Amino acid sequence: MSTHTIGRDEIDQLAEAGHLDAAARDAALLMTGVTPDSRQWQRFLSHLFLLLGVTFLAAAAGYFIAYNWDVMGRFAKIGLLEAGLVGAVIVALRADSETLIARAALLAAVLLTGPLLAFVGQTYQTGADTYELFRAWALLTLPWVLVARWRPTWCLWLLLVNVSIALYFGEAWRPLVSSFFYQTAALTHLVVNALFLVAFEIWGRERVTGGGRIVERFAIVLVLAAAGFLYMHFLFEVRERSGWEPIVAIATYAAVWFVYRRQRIDAAALALWCFGGIVAAVATVGKILSDGRAETAAFLFCGLTAIGLSAWAAAWLRNVNREINAKAEAA
More confident residue, 7 or 248: 248
For 220-261, the pLDDT digits (tens) are 999 999 999 999 999 888 666 778 999 999 999 999 999 999
For 47-106, the pLDDT digits (tens) are 889 889 999 998 898 888 888 888 888 888 888 889 999 999 999 999 887 888 999 999
Examine residue 98 and state whether it is found in any structural domain, yes or no. Answer: no
Q: Which of 173-187, 211-225, 275-289 has the lowest mean pLDDT?
A: 173-187
Mean pLDDT of the chain: 85
Using the predicted structure, report yes or no on whether residue 213 has a pLDDT greater than 80.
Answer: yes
Examine residue 52 and state whether it is found in any structural domain, yes or no. Answer: no
Examine residue 44 and state whether it is found in any structural domain, yes or no. Answer: no
State how far Cα 228 lies from the chain centre. Answer: 16
**3-class secondary-structure state, position 209:** strand
Query: In 3D, which of 112, 115, 133 has the Cα closest to residue 69?
Result: 115
Model-level pTM?
A: 0.85
More confident residue, 182 or 244: 244
Examine residue 142 and state whether it is found in any structural domain, yes or no. Answer: no
What integer pLDDT is reported at residue 3 of this predicted model?
44
What integer pLDDT is reported at residue 4 of this predicted model?
46
Examine residue 216 and state whether it is found in any structural domain, yes or no. Answer: yes
Other beta carbons within 10 Å of 308: 12
For 296-305, the pLDDT digits (tens) are 788 889 999 9
More confident residue, 281 or 293: 281
Using the predicted structure, report yes or no on whether residue 181 has a pLDDT greater than 90.
Answer: no
Using the predicted structure, report yes or no on whether residue 6 has a pLDDT greater than 80.
Answer: no
Examine residue 7 and state whether it is found in any structural domain, yes or no. Answer: no
Examine residue 234 and state whether it is found in any structural domain, yes or no. Answer: yes
What integer pLDDT is reported at residue 298 of this predicted model?
82
Using the predicted structure, report yes or no on whether residue 14 has a pLDDT greater than 70.
Answer: no
What integer pLDDT is reported at residue 13 of this predicted model?
65
For 138-149, the pLDDT digits (tens) are 999 999 999 999
What integer pLDDT is reported at residue 329 of this predicted model?
65
According to DSSP, the residues that pair with 220 across neighbouring strands are: none
Give the mean model confidence (pLDDT) for residues 19-42. 68
The total number of structural domains that make up the chain? 1
Backbone angles phi, psi at 150, to 5 degrees: -130, 130
Cβ contact 2:331 at 8 Å:
yes
Q: Which domain holds residue 197?
A: 178-331
Examine residue 5 and state whether it is found in any structural domain, yes or no. Answer: no
Question: Residues, the chain, total?
Answer: 331
